[in-house]
A and B are shown apart, each in its own frame.
Chain A
Amino acid sequence: MNNRYLQKEILRISGADVSKCMRCGKCSGTCPAYDEMEYHPHQFANMVESGDIEPLLNSQSLYKCLSCFACIDRCPRGVEPAKIVEAVRLLATRKQGANHMTANDVPAIVDEDTPQQLLVSAFRKYTK
C-alpha cells in the first residue's frame, strides 16, 4: 500500500523530514506509551516514508501517543516523530463527514488515563 497523496499531506502538516531518519530507534526507546501502541514512533516515521499510511490511520496507536514530545527532544536527527503522529491523527479526526463523537459521549469514555489531547483532537473535526 502506497498512498502518495496522504504521505504528502502528512509531511506538509507535520513539517517533518522522514528521510533524515537513520533508524536508530531512540524515539521508540524513549517513548513512555510504547507498550500501548501497535505502531511505535519509529514505525510511524518509516511507514510514512514508504507511503504505508492506511494502517496508521486505522490504528488506535494514534490516540495512545501522549504528545509528550520526548521523541522530538531526543531524536538525534531532528525527525520529530510526535509531529508525524499528530499529523496522521489530524487526518483521521478531520476526515469530512466522519463524526467520531458528540459532547454527550464524553462522560462515558473519559477516565483518568485518557489523554486530554485525544479529546481536544476529537472535537477539532469537521462536523458537516
Chain B
Amino acid sequence: MQRVGVFVCWCGSNIAGTVDVEAVSEALKNEPGVVFSTNYQYMCSQAGQDMIKEAVKEHNLTGIVVCSCSPRMHEATFRKTAAAAGLNPYMVEIANIREQCSWVHKDILTGTEKAIILGKAAIAKVNLNAPLTPGESPVTKRALVIGGGIAGIQTALDIADAGFPVDIVEKKPTIGGKMAQLDKTFPTLDCAACILTPKMVDVAQNDKIRIFSYSEVTDVQGFVGNFEVTIKKNARFVKEDICTGCGACVEKCPMKKNPNEFNLGMDNRPAIYIPFAQAVPKVATIDPNACTMLKKGKCGLCSKVCTAGAIDYTQKDEYLQEKYGAIVVATGFNPISMDKFDEFAYSQSKDVITSLEFERLTNAAGPSAGKLIRPSDGKHPHTIVFVQCVGSRCDACAQKGKEYCSKICCMYTAKHAMLTRDKYPDTEVYVFYIDVRTPGKNFDEFYRRAVEEYGVKYIKGMVGKVTPEGDKLKVQASDLIANKQLHIDADLVVLAAAIEPDKSARPLATMLTASMDTNDFFTEAHPKLKPVESPTAGVFLSGACQGPKDIPETVSQAGAAASKVIGLLCKDKLTGNPCVANSNELMCNGCSACANVCPYGAISYEDKEFRMPDRTTKVRRVASVNPAVCQGCGACTVTCPSGAMDLKGFANLQIMAEVDAICK
C-alpha cells in the first residue's frame, strides 16, 4: 500500500474562488492510502514545494497527489520536487482542478464536488503507480534542412556557425528559393540578389554545409536525435563535381524553346540550363523532358562542347541514406494558381500577370532585362492596375482561394507601385485594396510614401472584372469611398495572388509525422511559446512553411529554429519519456495489429522461445517495443485484441481505477 500525500493548491483565487479548497483537502484525507492532506495558497511557489518535501520526510510518503492546474503547466515542477525529496518523479499525480474545474464552474458547491472527485481519481491512480526510469539515447550531431530558400539558408548558416554539420536538401537545381527571383525588398528597397547571393556563396563555401540540390527527401525513419533519412538525388545528367558552370553547353544546346521556370515561363531556356547567373551550385542540369539526346538518343552537342567532360547521359537517380539528430522544415510557399479567377482574364491576356511575374519583369536579370514592358507587345505600359487580395481572405465555402491573409501582398504591392512611379513617372498607377495591412517596422511609413511622395492612387474597392479589348484591358471596379463604379483602360494588370505552402509539404509532413493545419501549413508546438518547434520532437520549422511571412520575419524565425537545433545537438544524450508501451509476451499472440497502428514504427516482432507447462519449448512470434522510438501515444494499447499491450504510467488498470473512483 502506498503512503499518499495530498496537496491542494488555491492558485490565489483562481481555484479558491470557485472551489472550497479546505473542504477538498478534508474530504480527500480519508481516501485509501492517504496519510496526509493539506492546502496552500501557491503550491508551485518555493514555500509550497518545501511543504511537499517536508511532508515526504515527515510522513514517509511514497506517492504525491497535487490538486492544482493542468499537468501541462506544473507537472514537471512537482516531479522535480518529488525527486529532490528522494521520491521517484513518476510517483506524482496531478488532479487538474483549475482548467477542468474552477475555471469552468461558477458555483462553488458543484466546483468543490468535482474537485473532490478529480482528487479521488488521482489518488486511485497513484496507488497503482510504480517508479519509472527514463531511458537514454545518443544524438547524431548533424542537422538536415529541407528547403534551400532564405529560410533554409539562414538556418543552415546559423547551425554551421555553431560548429555542427548541416545538409541542405533542395528540390530545384539551385538554392535561393523565392527570394532569388525578387527584384527589390521592402521597406528599404535593397536589391534581393545583392543581399541573398553573398549568403548563398557562404553556404557553398562553408565546409560544415553540404548541399543536395535537385534532390528530395523520400523517407524518414527514427526519432529525435536519431533520424535516418533517405535522400533521392535526381539525375541531372551532369557530374556535379566536374562541371565548372562555364555555360558553353547552355549556349550550344539546340533545344532552346522550353519555358524558363525561373522567369515563370515568361521566356525560354535550353534543355540544358543553369537557372541564373549566381546559382549555387553553379552546375548545369539537363531537363529530361526536353533533351533530344535523352528522348531519342540523337544530338549529344553539350557533351561535345563540354571541355570538362561533365555530361553523363547515363546518370541514374541516386538514393542516399543519411543520419541526423534534428530536421528543419523550410519548404516555403508558392503563389496560388489563377485558374479559378477568370474574372481577371489571367488566362486570356498576357498583360494580366501575377506579382511574382511583375517581380521578374522589373528584375535586371529577368526576361526583359529590367525594362517594364507589356508581355504581349513589348510596349511600355502607361496605366497599371494592381489588384490586392486575389485569392486571399476568401470564405471557405467560396472554394476559390484561401481563408487567410497572405500578409506580404500589401507591402510588395506598395513596393511595386512606388518603384514604377519612381522609374516611370509618366505611368498612372492604381492600387485597389480592401484593407492596407502594414504592421511592421517602417512598413506603414513606406506605404504612405508610395501615396504621398510617389502619387500612387490607392482606391478602396475591388476590381470586379477585367476585359481585354484591342490592346487595352478594360478594368471595371468599385470605389467605395466615392460610391462610384470606375472604368479604367489599363495596359497592365497585376494580381497580388495569395500564397500557399509548397505542394511537397504534405507528403513531407506524413513522413515526419509532423502535424499540419487545414491549409497545409505546418503546425507549431505552441502558437506563442513554441513557434519554431513542431509538435514532433526533433522537427523544427523555418519560414513560410509555417505561415505566410516576409523576409525579415523568415530570417528571424530561421535563426530561432537554428538555435533550437543547436540546443538539441549540444547534448550528448537525450533523456527519453519512460511512459512508453510495453508488451506482455505471455499474452501477445503476434497478430501485428499494434505494429500496423503505430505511427512511429516503434514496434517490431521477434521469435522467442517459451517454456510450456509440459516442459517442452515452443517458439512464438511476439511484439517488442523500442522504448526510444515509442512516444507513448497509446494507439497500440487500445488496438491490442489480447490485452497484452500496456502503457507504462498509464496502464489500463490505472485508468480503470480512475474511472471507478470517479463513478463511485
A residues sitting closer than 8 Å to B (CB atoms) are 20, 22-31, 34-35, 40, 42-43, 70, 73-78
Main secondary structure of the interface of A (DSSP, over half): helix
Whether B485 pairs with A29 at a CB distance below 8 angstroms is: yes
Contact of A25 among B394, B462, B465 (CB under 8 A): B462
A-facing residues in B469-515 (Cβ within 8 Å): 476-480, 483, 485
Q: A24-B434, A76-B389 are in contact. Are A31 and B397 (CB under 8 A)?
A: no
Whether B464 pairs with A30 at a CB distance below 8 angstroms is: yes
Least Cβ–Cβ distance between B5 and chain A, in angstroms: 53
Contact of A28 among B398, B434, B478 (CB under 8 A): B478
Chain B residue, CB-CB nearest to A73 = B343
Contact of B464 among A20, A29, A77 (CB under 8 A): A29
Q: A30-B343, A30-B465, A40-B478 are in contact. Are A25 and B460 (CB under 8 A)?
A: yes
Inter-chain CA distance A80–B343, complex, in Å, is: 17
B106 at the interface (CB under 8 A from A): no
Q: A28-B480, A40-B478, A75-B398 are in contact. Are A23 and B485 (CB under 8 A)?
A: no
Which residues of B lie under 8 Å from residue A76 when comparing CB positions? Answer: 389, 393-395, 398, 400-401
B residues sitting closer than 8 Å to A (CB atoms) are 343, 389, 393-395, 397-398, 400-401, 432, 434, 460-465, 476-480, 483, 485
Inter-chain CA distance A30–B398, complex, in Å, is: 16
Chain B residue, CB-CB nearest to A74 = B343
Chain A residue, CB-CB nearest to B388 = A24
Inter-chain CA distance A113–B270, complex, in Å, is: 56
Inter-chain CA distance A42–B400, complex, in Å, is: 20
User: Max chain B CB contacts within 10 Å: which of A25, A26, A31?
Assistant: A25
Chain A residue, CB-CB nearest to B432 = A29
Which residues of A lie under 8 Å from residue B479 when comparing CB positions? Answer: 25
Q: Total number of A-B contacts with CB less than 8 angstroms?
A: 75
Inter-chain CA distance A20–B394, complex, in Å, is: 10
Inter-chain CA distance A28–B394, complex, in Å, is: 17
Inter-chain CA distance A25–B462, complex, in Å, is: 5
Which residues of A lie under 8 Å from residue B398 when comparing CB positions? Answer: 75-78
Least Cβ–Cβ distance between B431 and chain A, in angstroms: 14
Which residues of B lie under 8 Å from residue A42 when comparing CB positions? Answer: 478, 480
Least Cβ–Cβ distance between A45 and chain B, in angstroms: 12
Whether B463 pairs with A26 at a CB distance below 8 angstroms is: yes
Least Cβ–Cβ distance between A111 and chain B, in angstroms: 24
Whether A22 pairs with B464 at a CB distance below 8 angstroms is: no
Chain A residue, CB-CB nearest to B399 = A78
Which residues of B lie under 8 Å from residue A31 when comparing CB positions? Answer: 464, 485
Chain B residue, CB-CB nearest to A72 = B398
Least Cβ–Cβ distance between A66 and chain B, in angstroms: 14
Least Cβ–Cβ distance between B405 and chain A, in angstroms: 10
Inter-chain CA distance A75–B465, complex, in Å, is: 12
Inter-chain CA distance A28–B462, complex, in Å, is: 8
Q: A23-B480, A24-B434, A40-B478 are in contact. Are A77 and B485 (CB under 8 A)?
A: no
Contact of B389 among A20, A24, A35, A75 (CB under 8 A): A24
Chain A residue, CB-CB nearest to B475 = A29
Whether B397 pairs with A25 at a CB distance below 8 angstroms is: no
Chain B residue, CB-CB nearest to A29 = B464
Chain A residue, CB-CB nearest to B462 = A26
Least Cβ–Cβ distance between B294 and chain A, in angstroms: 45
Chain B residue, CB-CB nearest to A79 = B395
Extra A-B contacts (11), CB below 8 Å, given A28-B464, A30-B476, A40-B483: A24-B461, A26-B464, A29-B477, A31-B485, A34-B485, A70-B465, A76-B394, A76-B395, A77-B393, A77-B398, A78-B397
Chain B residue, CB-CB nearest to A35 = B485
Whether A74 pairs with B401 at a CB distance below 8 angstroms is: no
Least Cβ–Cβ distance between B482 and chain A, in angstroms: 11
Whether A22 pairs with B393 at a CB distance below 8 angstroms is: yes
Least Cβ–Cβ distance between A85 and chain B, in angstroms: 16
Inter-chain CA distance A127–B476, complex, in Å, is: 41
Inter-chain CA distance A70–B463, complex, in Å, is: 13
Contact of A29 among B393, B394, B397, B461 (CB under 8 A): B461
Chain A residue, CB-CB nearest to B390 = A76
Which residues of A lie under 8 Å from residue B462 when comparing CB positions? Answer: 24-26, 29
Whether B395 pairs with A20 at a CB distance below 8 angstroms is: yes
20 contacts between A and B (CB under 8 A): A24-B393, A24-B462, A25-B434, A25-B462, A25-B479, A25-B480, A28-B461, A28-B478, A28-B485, A29-B476, A31-B464, A31-B485, A34-B485, A40-B478, A40-B485, A42-B478, A43-B483, A74-B343, A76-B393, A76-B401
Which residues of A lie under 8 Å from residue B483 when comparing CB positions? Answer: 40, 43
Contact of B461 among A20, A25, A74 (CB under 8 A): A25
Whether B478 pairs with A26 at a CB distance below 8 angstroms is: yes
Which residues of B lie under 8 Å from residue A77 when comparing CB positions? Answer: 393-395, 398
Contact of B478 among A25, A70, A78 (CB under 8 A): A25
Contact of A23 among B343, B434, B464, B465 (CB under 8 A): B434
Inter-chain CA distance A23–B478, complex, in Å, is: 11
Inter-chain CA distance A121–B640, complex, in Å, is: 66
Which residues of B lie under 8 Å from residue A70 when comparing CB positions? Answer: 464-465
User: Max chain B CB contacts within 10 Å: which of A20, A28, A40?
Assistant: A28
Contact of B434 among A22, A34, A73 (CB under 8 A): A22
